[in-house]
């Protein structure tokens, strides 16, 4: 019983740590990056544990997984927003909904929209040499 409790506590701690790491960045990191950060706190944590906890956090609706079919990136920002991926440096930026005009004319044609999935790619301001 005591052992079961301590395992539960450990799992909760690991999951909480992974969530905190993800909340501390806006860089939309990979599981590998999160793993490297988590190891600073828990040196013996495994990459598999990180993956498992990311999956649970996603199922709980606490994080979002962004995937381009090749690589998954993760985001602890769960309110409605979009992403811009730079084709030069691979950075992913948050885009506010008000910066994109979604055409709702479909709704007037009788279609009901459940989700809007917008894929924005291009070159970011840093790569364009316009970094402030
Ligand atoms: Zn860039
Ligand atoms: Mn985001």
pLDDT tens-digit profile of 52-108? Answer: 999 999 999 999 999 988 889 999 999 989 999 999 999 999 998 878 766 666 666
Q: Is the pLDDT of residue 22 over 90?
A: yes
* Residue 105 phi, psi (nearest 5): -65, -25
Average pLDDT on 30-55 reads 97
Cα→Cα distances 126→24, 26, 86, 89, Å: 21, 16, 10, 9
Q: How far is the CA of 2 from the centre of ligand 2 (A)?
A: 40
Ligand nearest to the CA of 91: 1
CA distance 13 to 11: 5
Q: What is the pLDDT of residue 2?
A: 65
- Asked if residues 38 and 45 have their Cβ atoms less than 8 Å apart, the reply is yes
First-to-last alpha carbon distance for the chain, in angstroms, is: 57
Q: Is the pLDDT of residue 44 over 60?
A: yes
pLDDT confidence of 20, banded at 50, 70, 90?
very high
pLDDT confidence of 6, banded at 50, 70, 90?
confident
pLDDT confidence of 9, banded at 50, 70, 90?
confident
**Mind listing the domains of the chain with CATH numbers?**
10-75 (1.10.10.10), 82-131 (3.30.1490)
Q: How far is the CA of 95 from the centre of ligand 2 (A)?
A: 8
Ligand nearest to the CA of 64: 2
Q: How far is the CA of 88 from the centre of ligand 1 (A)?
A: 5
Backbone dihedral region for residue 75 (phi beyond 0: left; psi -120 to 50: alpha; all else: beta): beta
């Amino acid at each position: 019983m005591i052992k079961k409790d301590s395992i539960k506590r450990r799992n909760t701690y690991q999951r909480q740590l992974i969530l905190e790491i993800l909340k501390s960045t806006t860089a939309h990191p990979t599981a590998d990056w999160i793993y490297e950060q988590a190891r600073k706190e828990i040196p013996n944590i495994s990459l598999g544990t990180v993956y498992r906890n990311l999956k649970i956090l996603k199922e709980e609706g606490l994080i979002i997984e962004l995937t381009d079919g090749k690589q998954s990136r993760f985001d602890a920002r769960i309110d409605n927003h979009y992403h811009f991926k730079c084709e030069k440096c691979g950075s992913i930026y948050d885009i506010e909904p008000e910066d994109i005009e979604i055409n709702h004319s479909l709704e007037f044609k009788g279609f009901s929209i459940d989700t809007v999935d917008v894929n924005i790619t291009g070159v970011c301001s840093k790569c364009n040499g316009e970094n402030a």
